[in-house]
């Protein structure tokens, strides 16, 4: 399959470029020119996006501002307008599917404490994909907006859409750096290993449905997301568990 990856120079982009290269022909899209071959384009620039996805079968859309504390201006340009432009160019180019990097932050209205990465564990919950959006930041709201545009393009413009509500994946393939920090509870619930990330995106490229929602987290003992619908819809059964890295 010919697969475009936006945000290909980023953290997740780097893992997926490497992990998907054996099975797919990857076309990286980046904000600026890189040491590897890529198409440099700002996704918030509608004119610049015209024609860039010609010939692709699928697009993995990772480009955006990943910061839960990011500004409105950045969310509007990079996440909301940028995602719309990715969908619109996919429609124009006849791309069959967009796999979208959404976030756990679309649903943290009742679960986050004082800051975007402090989980309130005083009120245990098990959230479902069908629970309504409940963002705790404009970042979460910007990704929820992307999911809504995805549903529109899936239902009315013949572009399949897979919304991946990604947990927490950092520069190391381990959650242990969070031990003893304010974000430990959050990371223990949201940890996503590189192996599980890759499996989830492989499954997303295979699934043949108009619109799919999925939680992309590891099989964490302390998860707050119910994985059953994701298991079924995506065939994604994560293997790793943040708890195995912690002593207790």
Ligand X SMILES: NC(=O)c1ccc[n+]([C@@H]2O[C@H](COP(=O)([O-])OP(=O)(O)OC[C@H]3O[C@@H](n4cnc5c(N)ncnc54)[C@H](O)[C@@H]3O)[C@@H](O)[C@H]2O)c1
Residues near ligand X (CB under 6 A):
7, 9-13, 31, 42-44, 62-66, 78, 82, 101, 103, 166, 168-169
- Least separation, in Å, of the C-beta of 84 and ligand X? 12
CA angle 204, 205, 207 (to 5 degrees): 65
The helix/strand/coil state of 102 is: strand
- Least separation, in Å, of the C-beta of 236 and ligand X? 16
- Least separation, in Å, of the C-beta of 214 and ligand X? 12
- Taking the least distance from each CB to ligand X, the nearer of 183 and 231 is 183
- Tell me how far CA of residue 15 lies from CA of 38, 88, 164, in angstroms: 16, 26, 16
* Cβ atoms within 10 Å of 35's Cβ, excluding its own: 6
Burial environment of residue 114 by CB neighbours within 10 A (0 to 12, 13 to 18, 19 or more): exposed
- Taking the least distance from each CB to ligand X, the nearer of 154 and 200 is 200
- Taking the least distance from each CB to ligand X, the nearer of 5 and 154 is 5
- Taking the least distance from each CB to ligand X, the nearer of 62 and 234 is 62
- Least separation, in Å, of the C-beta of 192 and ligand X? 7
Nearest-angstrom CA–CA distance, 164 and 42: 22
């Amino acid at each position: 399959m010919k697969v475009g990856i936006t945000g290909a120079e980023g953290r997740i982009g780097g893992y997926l470029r490497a992990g998907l290269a054996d099975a797919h022909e990857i076309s990286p899209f980046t904000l600026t020119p890189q040491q590897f071959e890529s198409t440099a384009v700002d996704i918030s620039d509608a004119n610049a996006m015209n024609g860039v996805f010609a010939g692709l079968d699928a697009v993995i859309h990772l480009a955006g501002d990943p910061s839960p504390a990011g500004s409105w201006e950045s969310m509007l340009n990079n996440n909301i307008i940028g995602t719309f432009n990715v969908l619109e160019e996919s429609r124009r180019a006849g791309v069959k599917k967009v796999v979208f990097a959404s976030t756990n932050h679309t649903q943290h209205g009742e679960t986050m404490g004082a800051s975007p990465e402090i989980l309130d564990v005083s009120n245990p919950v098990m959230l479902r994909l069908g629970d309504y959006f409940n963002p705790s930041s404009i970042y979460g709201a910007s990704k929820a907006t992307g999911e809504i545009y995805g549903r529109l393009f899936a239902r009315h413009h013949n572009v399949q859409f897979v919304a991946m509500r990604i947990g927490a994946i950092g520069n190391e393939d381990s959650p242990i750096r969070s031990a003893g920090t304010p974000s430990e509870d959050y990371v223990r619930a949201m940890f996503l290993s590189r192996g599980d990330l890759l499996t989830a995106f492989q499954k997303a490229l295979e699934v043949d449905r108009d619109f799919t929602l999925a939680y992309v987290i590891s099989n964490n003992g302390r998860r707050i997301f119910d994985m059953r619908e994701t298991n079924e819809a995506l065939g994604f059964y994560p293997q790793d568990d943040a708890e195995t890295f912690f002593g207790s």
